[in-house]
Amino acid sequence: MKQKQSDVTLFLHLTNYIKPYMWLLIVAAMALMTNLFLSLWRPYITKQVIDYGFAIKDINTIEYYAGVYALTIVGSIVFILLENYLLASFGQKIIYHIRSAVFEKITHKSSHEFQETPIGNWVTRITNDVESLRTLYSDVILKLISSGLMIIGILCFMYAINVPLAIVMTLLLPVMGGIIWVYQKFSRRAFRQVRTSVAASNSSIKELLNYIIIVKTYVGEKIIEKRYDKVNREFLDAGIFEVITFSIFRPLVDALFFVALIIIFTMTNLLESVADAGTVFAFIQYMDRFFQPMKEIAEKYNSLQSALAGAERLVPVLEEEKRDLVTTVPEEFKQIDSIVFDHVYFSYDNDEHYALEDFHLTIRRGEYIGVVGLSGSGKSTLLSLLMGLLNPTKGAIYINGYNLADYDSSMIRNIIGYVFQNAYLFKGSIEDNLNLYDTSITKEEIVEATQKVNLHSMIENLPNGYNTSVGYLGALLSDGQKQLLAFARTLIVNKPILLLDEATSNVDSHTEGQIQKSIETIRGEKTIINVAHRLSTVEQANRIVVLSYGRIVETGTFTELIEKRGEFYQLWSHQH
């Protein structure tokens, strides 16, 4: 009963997405029921022509029923075409609606949730799971209703032509119901395993192929083949369990049909008065049709369980409260006068092992701050806290005296530009990656930004200029070009705070020099925080903050820290 209630809850939630297109479903249902009646009427017409036409060789009766039979076939063709078209349109429209809703909910999730869940799982939700719902709405639900109505209709026609034989068929219904009840106990588990295996397979493929260049570098193709084979074998086992579950059910239905057939013929032979030739012929046709919807119920229940397994994964995403992004900057942040880290602590596992500990720093408007330290010292954590991607465990961060904890993180990112260690480029042209498909950004704004990072002349010399394709993940550009493009992309949006996260760690010295020159062109216009592994990058900073195990151990200008011969001097010595 609990599982049934769960299924009802899933249906009720998903029904919200079909309301705008309900008229398509209603008309399709009417076409389906009309065709159902016509198909059930034909065996009865056959009975009549045998008993009242062929039996007495009445040619007029035979021609009359032949004409009626032909009209039912034409009617069925028309209504089947109408039903198929309406259901296909209905299915595509609601899937468009649901897929858009799921994609929106996923894109609004926090970065922490993306770190916890493999990207392949999200891909499966948007593709496989949503597609299973198309099958649910456009195929399964109406077909199940159709099959149920067909069984009822067949019994009605059977009772109309012969009560004793109809009673036999009625007695078989509880047996069939018992078989279906047992079947559904296993099928739901089978499809849930298949859905889980699909998601695991997608995640594994995406992870392995995204870093295929590393695999090839180490000649590790055979190793990752073995690794994927383990995931693929789990997929295989889930699929086999699904096949076995269904393959056991189908023969049971066929066996029940033959049992019914034997009973009907036995009764007809023993009791001559039970039925005449036309009735027996019609009954055999109805019996065949009686068991067809039984098989179809099993097959559609198959699809139903698959769809519900997908719905179980989708509904939690769809039920999440819609998070409206803040696209405007409040008046208090239109101009940035100060950034204050007020004794900030942060722990990834909420214990006493802090990635950032008692971090206290005040940054004034237009300052250029360098942040350095060994790997694991808390540099990137610091930037994630300022961006609102993480929240302090203790302490607070203030901009212009306002606690960032009181604002949505999307608002914070409206005032902060971020240049990542790795340049992330999307499929499309250089211009697409500069404006991120925002057509409101003018070409003049794009050119101005690329000139600031010394990228404009290089782009102009390309065969297609700003329309040049960057390739998959920017494969057609060098690392230096990608990083400069990412830097220019940040300058285009003209945000008052600029964060650079190891922006020069993956580029050559020439590109590093260009980035440093670019920083000088915007210095004073923006408040800059530059997290750097290469210490030469922050040599011109107003102040340099040195981190060690999440704590500030030194601050000062480059010259002051070198003269102090402390932690910064040791780091500098190792690089020179």
Summarize pLDDT for 95-152 with one digit per residue, the tens.
888 888 888 887 777 666 766 676 767 777 777 777 777 777 777 777 777 777 888 8
pLDDT of residue 4: 43
Q: pLDDT: is 508 or 429 the higher one? A: 429
Q: Report the C-alpha gap between 573 and 305 in whole angstroms.
A: 65
Q: Which residue is it, tokens 């066996």?
A: 255
Structure token digits, residue 37: 């009646």
Taking every pair of Cα atoms in the chain, the longest distance, rounded to a whole number of angstroms, is 121
- Mean of the pLDDT values across residues 194-214? 70
Confidence of residue 260 (pLDDT cuts 50, 70, 90): low
Cβ atoms < 10 Å from Cβ of 93: 18
Measure the CA angle with vertex 527, ends 526 and 531; round to 5°. Answer: 120
Note whether 416 and 492 are within 8 A (CB).
no
Measure the CA angle with vertex 161, ends 158 and 167; round to 5°. Answer: 45
Q: Report the C-alpha gap between 305 and 362 in whole angstroms.
A: 58
Q: Report the C-alpha gap between 354 and 74 in whole angstroms.
A: 77
pLDDT of residue 395: 92
pLDDT of residue 78: 93
Pairing type for strands 338-346 and 551-556 reads: unpaired
pLDDT surpassing 50 at residue 275: no
pLDDT of residue 180: 67
Question: What is the Cα gyration radius of the chain?
Answer: 35
Pairing type for strands 551-556 and 543-548 reads: antiparallel
Q: Report the C-alpha gap between 208 and 495 in whole angstroms.
A: 36
Q: pLDDT: is 166 or 402 the higher one? A: 402
273 Cβ contact list (under 8 Å, min separation 6): none
- Mean of the pLDDT values across residues 275-301? 69
Percent of the chain with pLDDT over 90: 10
pLDDT surpassing 60 at residue 269: no
pLDDT of residue 3: 46
Residue 82, classified by CB atoms within 10 Å of its CB into exposed (0-12), middle (13-18) or buried (19+), is: middle
Note whether 97 and 134 are within 8 A (CB).
no
Report CA-CA distances (Å) from 190 to 34, 186, 193, 296.
35, 6, 5, 18
Q: pLDDT: is 397 or 284 the higher one? A: 397
> pTM of the entire structure?
0.62
Q: Report the C-alpha gap between 231 and 241 in whole angstroms.
A: 16
pLDDT of residue 545: 93
Q: Which residue is it, tokens 């705070």?
A: 497
pLDDT of residue 257: 61
